[in-house]
Structure 1
Amino acid sequence: MYYFDHAASTPPHEEVIRTMAEVMAKHYANPSSLHRGGHEAGNLLERARSVIASVFRGTEPKEWIFTSGGTESNNIAITGAARASSKRGKHIITTAVEHPSVYDTCLALEREGFKVTILPVNSDGIVSIEVLEQALTDETILVSVMHVNNETGAVQPIREIGELLKQHRSTIFHVDGVQSVGKLPIDLQSCGIDLFSASAHKVNGPRGVGLLYVRAGVILEPLYHGGSQERGQRPGTENVAGIVAAAKAFRMALESQPERAERMYALRERLLACISEIPELIVNGVIDHSAGVAAPNIVNFSYPGMKPEVIVHMLEKHRVLASTKSACSSKSDDPSRVLLAMGASRERAASGIRISFGDEHGAAELEWLCRMLHMVVQKLKPLERKE
């Protein structure tokens, strides 16, 4: 199979699998226990935290919380920050193209009485700094903007947003970095990021492990209760084996990021050239990545008039695994909220296909993908819906 759904989940590295298996076999004690086994497990946990802090340069181990994944990290960050800061103000700003774990969390807070401003994006899916600046008020306590969009690969101006928010010291800046870690460079300190979410299974690590960076001094109201683990933010016995394996995966991903980006940008250009040869297909989002507003590993296109699941299943028959929108929303028949926010018609937004690359892909895999796209479109043309 040719697996082109890395934005949904990635195959774990062999080294990661071995590490997880070894820790599971040898260090099964509860890291909170007082005996020797617990002490050894606790040491592994803190060593993993130190590894994370070292690869995200400028951060401290105590600033990292282990969670079950990006969705939980986003929920803890946004809800925890909003509730903890509610006495200073109740205004939250986010964008129309956020992942559901951010977008829906903000809507839930709106039902609690918070005021939520959802910023529009341009046709490339990118938010305007000027529009954000106009939306800021003295009551704004939180701004949450993703780094890389999970459907289109659009890159938001995180550094510029961070610079703007440095003039609003009381406003907390949260970044969903789930799709950017290991693909694009990210400096949490220079970008002025207070809260940062990441997920291990997006970087060839295990499922069920996420990261949340909480800058020293930022206060979160806990969502959960029942234990003091992870600074009281995520109580419960830690998944030591998964966390140690995740730390290895994050280290490998960040250390190899420049080479990975260079190789994937070349694959992206080849795929875009292929799509341009098929008149029925329309690219959604940025085509030219030279301005730094497109991630290297995601390409999104539409076949207006055709149901995306038909394309996905036909590609699968020819050993190509692709996806439609976010894996969290892919089973819904609704048009993509992200593509609609970018100004796409409902027909176009309802027919989006996402291709996302991984470490195993090279020229041969891309050529097969291109051949299959040409073939599938030719077979589907007689079935087009004319609405």
Structure 2
Amino acid sequence: MIYFDNSATTKAHSEIINTFVAVNEKFWANPASIHEFGHHTNELLETAREQIAEILQTPSDKVYFTSGGTESNNLAIFGLANKYKYRGNHVLISAIEHPSVLEAGKRLSTQGFKVEYIPVNKDGVISLEEVEKLLRDDTVLVSVMHVNNETGAIQPIKELSSIVRGNSRALIHIDAVQSFGKMKVNFDELDVDAITISSHKIHGLKGSGLLALKKFIEVEPILFGGGQELGIRSGTTPVPLAVSTAKAVRMASQNIEDHVEKLQKMTNDLASFLQTFSIVKLISPENRAPHILTFSVRKLKGEVLINALQKEGVLVSTSSACSSRQIKTSHVLKAMHIEDDYIKGVIRLSLSTMNTLDEIQQFKKVFRHVMNVIKGE
């Protein structure tokens, strides 16, 4: 099997699985318990928090463990907007966000907030000119994903930050689910206020992730109970997941330059190959994340190609796995104004460092064969 659907989820590293198992076996006490066993478990939890904080360059008390990207995005959108609503009720969200941000924005609009959407160009990149026009004195939050999950388009976060800082008091949240581990992501590098990371996108375990805040930034909780996770996320903290998440973050942040070089080489090779087909259109822009390459076949449904490739042992997806089982057209492709002939045939190839150059060559053979069958040659 050739697995090219890593933006949907990655295979967990054996080291991370071993860490999860070991913590479950040795540190299974409730970290909130006041006995010595609970104290030792809490120490392990706080060590995990400190490790992540050091990588992201923020204080450890600004790292909150969550169940994953969706919860982290919800906590950021609702928690920041409500915490700082004394500054205003205007929120800006890009038109190509993950549903966990878009749907949160829709809910905010029913709670007294004015939510507007930043348009993108044909490459799926936000318009900085529109950001400047849309910013208002009462803008409280701007949320833009670092790398788009469907096309791999890299958003100009540094430039966005400069504009937002110079024209408003708004906070900046980025969904870094698809960028962390493939690009430099920390508060000093990007000058943002909140960062979302999901463990299972970086060879960690499903059901775990985090929201990190910049120093002095605060957030209102969206879960209420015993006040765990520094008062922000009530519920017994799953220490084995937190520790394995820290391990995933550490592993993903090591040797990033080498990872990028390997991934870029593979996706560039695929891009050159796909462009030899006259009916194939590359959807991913030239300035894209190194691990994602999205394309479309003219007048062909993506599901047809996915099924054909699957029969040959190649697993891919249509744009986003979050919506690939739904019939409706991707909101990202609509925002990019993809032509009707191509909008139904979009395929996303998403790689990880576990993939090999041999798999790239095998994919080429399979794809050429599948295309010949589809065309009846």
- Which band: TM-score by shorter chain? over 0.9
Which digits, 9 at most, give the CA deviation of each residue in 1:174-226, with x for residues without a partner?
A: 00000000001123124221011000101111111111012232232221110
**Distance of 1:251 and 1:272 partners within structure 2:** 30
The residue correspondences of 1:270-349 to structure 2 (distance < 5 A) are 270-286=269-285, 288=286, 293-349=287-343
Distance 1:54 1:218, change over 3 A: closer
Is the contact made by 1:51 and 1:247 (CA closer than 8 Å) also made in structure 2?
A: yes
2:374 is the alignment partner of 1:375 = no
Secondary structure of the 2:141 match is: strand
Secondary structure of the 2:375 match is: helix
**Distance of 2:251 and 2:340 partners within structure 1:** 40
Cα displacement (A) at 1:230:
1.3
Paired residue for 1:269? 268
The residue type paired with residue 368 of structure 2 is: H
The residue type paired with residue 27 of structure 2 is: H
Secondary structure of the 1:355 match is: strand
Paired residue for 1:34? 34
Cα displacement (A) at 1:168:
4.2
Greater shift in the superposed pair: 174-183 or 238-247: 238-247
Paired residue for 1:255? 254
Secondary structure of the 1:302 match is: strand
Secondary structure of the 2:85 match is: coil
Paired residue for 1:238? 237
Cα displacement (A) at 1:89:
1.0
**Distance of 1:39 and 1:346 partners within structure 2:** 60
Q: Which runs of 5+ in 1 are unaligned?
A: none
The residue type paired with residue 299 of structure 2 is: G
Paired residue for 2:360? 366
Greater shift in the superposed pair: 41-50 or 166-175: 166-175
Cα displacement (A) at 1:24:
0.8
Is the contact made by 2:139 and 2:168 (CA closer than 8 Å) also made in structure 1?
A: no
**Distance of 1:168 and 1:31 partners within structure 2:** 43
Cα displacement (A) at 1:100:
0.7
The residue type paired with residue 235 of structure 1 is: S
TM-score (norm 2): 0.97
Distance 1:233 1:382, change over 3 A: farther
Paired residue for 2:9? 9
Paired residue for 1:46? 46
Paired residue for 1:80? 79
Is the contact made by 2:137 and 2:168 (CA closer than 8 Å) also made in structure 1?
A: no
Instruction: Percent identity, please.
Output: 40
Secondary structure of the 2:290 match is: coil
**Distance of 2:139 and 2:281 partners within structure 1:** 38
2:227 is the alignment partner of 1:228 = yes
Which digits, 9 at most, give the CA deviation of each residue in 1:223-278, with x for residues without a partner?
A: 11102111222110111111111111110111121110011110011000110112
Secondary structure of the 1:111 match is: coil
**Distance of 1:382 and 1:95 partners within structure 2:** 42
The residue correspondences of 1:135-146 to structure 2 (distance < 5 A) are 135-146=134-145
**Distance of 2:214 and 2:229 partners within structure 1:** 14
Secondary structure of the 1:7 match is: coil
**Distance of 1:109 and 1:382 partners within structure 2:** 51
**Distance of 1:133 and 1:169 partners within structure 2:** 10
Is the contact made by 2:301 and 2:345 (CA closer than 8 Å) also made in structure 1?
A: yes
Paired residue for 1:62? 61
**Distance of 1:202 and 1:187 partners within structure 2:** 17
Cα displacement (A) at 1:73:
0.2
Cα displacement (A) at 1:169:
5.5
Paired residue for 1:159? 158
2:114 is the alignment partner of 1:120 = no
Is the contact made by 1:335 and 1:351 (CA closer than 8 Å) also made in structure 2?
A: no
Secondary structure of the 2:65 match is: strand
Which digits, 9 at most, give the CA deviation of each residue in 1:89-136, with x for residues without a partner?
A: 111111111111111111111122211111110111001211111110
2:29 is the alignment partner of 1:25 = no
Greater shift in the superposed pair: 159-168 or 244-253: 159-168
Cα displacement (A) at 1:376:
1.3
Structure 1 residue ranges (4+ consecutive) displaced by more than 3 angstroms after TM superposition: none
The residue correspondences of 1:127-138 to structure 2 (distance < 5 A) are 127-138=126-137
TM-score (norm 1): 0.94
Is the contact made by 2:147 and 2:154 (CA closer than 8 Å) also made in structure 1?
A: yes
**Distance of 2:51 and 2:324 partners within structure 1:** 34
The residue type paired with residue 23 of structure 2 is: V
How many residue pairs get aligned? The number is: 377
Cα displacement (A) at 1:382:
4.8
Q: CA RMSD in A?
A: 1.4
**Distance of 2:279 and 2:368 partners within structure 1:** 10
Cα displacement (A) at 1:86:
2.1
Secondary structure of the 1:46 match is: helix
Secondary structure of the 1:75 match is: helix
Cα displacement (A) at 1:367:
0.6
The residue type paired with residue 362 of structure 1 is: T
